Amino acid sequence: MCDTLVALGNSTKDGSVIFAKNSDRDPNEAHELVSVPRTKHAEGSMVRCTYVEIPQVPETYAVLLAKPFWIWGAEMGANEHGVVIGNEAVFTKIPAGKEPGLIGMDYLRLALERAATAREALTVITQLLEKYGQSGNCGFAHKFYYHNSFLIADPEEAWVLETADRHWAAERVRSVRSISNQITIGNEFDLASAGLVEYAIERGWCKSRDDFDFGRCYSDFIYTRFSDAYNRYCRTSELLAADKGEITVETMMSALRDHRSNHSSKYSPDRGLSGADVCKHFSFGPIRIDQSTGSMITHLKPGLNTNWVTGTSAPCTGLFKPVWLDSGLPDLGPAPQGEYDDHSLWWQHELLHRSVLQDYQERLNQYKDERDQLEEGFLQQVRQLNSASLEERLSLTAQCFETAGQATKRWTKKVRSTPNLDGRPILHRIALRGANQQAKFPF
């Protein structure tokens, strides 16, 4: 389960467009940062997506992807033209296809590689969707099938695109907007697939066009309800509305770290067998089986688009670092897999994260102030980069990742040396122990 947010220039402090997303996946489903250059392709060539091949286009744009390690596509990403996209699982009355096909994350990457504007990206997805449909397992540890919604933005505009199999509706964003794991478009939309309303009428989901509501007609109640999508959608909408006109990158960082009770010293991720926060931590299933495995914020500012990525899970326990698509990523070590690797950026932080989970408030407070100071330093350095060269920006990115890596090691040692009273509920401890054993953690 995930959350994606956007604020247009009429709602941000500096008049830019700011996009943000948390990707919620299985706790051992490591998230990978990938930079792919602009590439020309031979006529008649094919592109292999997660499960199937489709015809390739003559040239694909450079992209920065934040993705589950085993999937060709991505949960979020940006391209060289400043197009950014995040996807969400949505659950509909039309059964999700189980045969290997194109999945939502494939559509996201295909759109980034082929579109120079948000509107073009919407067209890429809908045309491919109507031709190929969407199907295939999207889960890592457990088979998981669903349809998708997308939040698509560029420096000028943003769109929400929500789907049910090959059917879809799209709404142009006017100021601020968020999506979660439910269809949020109702009876007003700007674009739609042919027969969207008629299909619902034929199945008795509504009586007429006047009675039509996309979310009400097409949504599966049970999965949508237990994803806690409505509460998270309301929460992200509330956070955006509260700062409308003053939204900054820091606003989005805070939103992605939100636990509803963020300002309460009593918050702990080991409480509750249901419900989910924007910053999600896994616990005892079957509902709380995933966590925020990666986070990304893109600041679409005229002249220089800056991506802020964690490259790690649980943004409340980690650091956002700056990346520019044209200067690329520094050496991040081996690509992460589904088991612990102390050389991997993602797993190095996961050791810290799961150590913090053993006594969340006490252990996070041991380094939170330093974390905030480091992150503010990164932000200040980026603000001073008005016309820096590619080399200067890559150097700063590498410096920030190195600083974050050293801090992570230091914080991990510090929190793991703290006596662990472990008063957590037994079911939460069982869930954490099981995930650690599956990942072959050194606990």
Which residues belong to the active site? 2
Torsion of CA 91, 94, 100, 102, to 10 degrees: -70
Structure tokens belonging to residue 52: 């199937």
Q: Are strands 76-79 and 63-68 parallel, antiparallel or unpaired?
A: antiparallel
SS (H, E, C) the chain: CCEEEEECCCCECCCCEEEEEEEEECCCCCEEEEEECCEECCCCCEEECCCCEEECCCEECCEEEEEECCCCCCCEEEECCCCEEEEEEECECCCCECCCCCCHHHHHHHHHHHCCCHHHHHHHHHHHHHHHCCECCCCCCCCCCCEEEEEEECCCCEEEEEEECCEEEEEECCCEEEECCCCCCCCCCCEECCCHHHHHHHCCCCCCCCCCCHHHHHECHHHHHHCCHHHHHHHHHHHHHHCCCCECHHHHHHHHCCCCCCCCCCCCCCCCCCCCCCCCCCCCCCCCCCEEEEEEEEEEECCEEEEEECCCCCHHHCCCEEECCCCCCCCCCCCCCCCCCCCCHHHHHHHHHHHHHHHHHHHHCCCHHHHHHHHHHHHHHHHCCCCCCHHHHHHHHHHHHHHHHHHHHHHHHHHHCCCCCCCCCHHHHHHHHHHHHHCCCCC
- Ramachandran angles phi, psi of 383, nearest 5°: -60, -25
Q: Which two tokens stand for residue 282?
A: 């896994």
The half-sphere exposure of 33 on its side-chain side, counting CA atoms within 13 A, is: 26
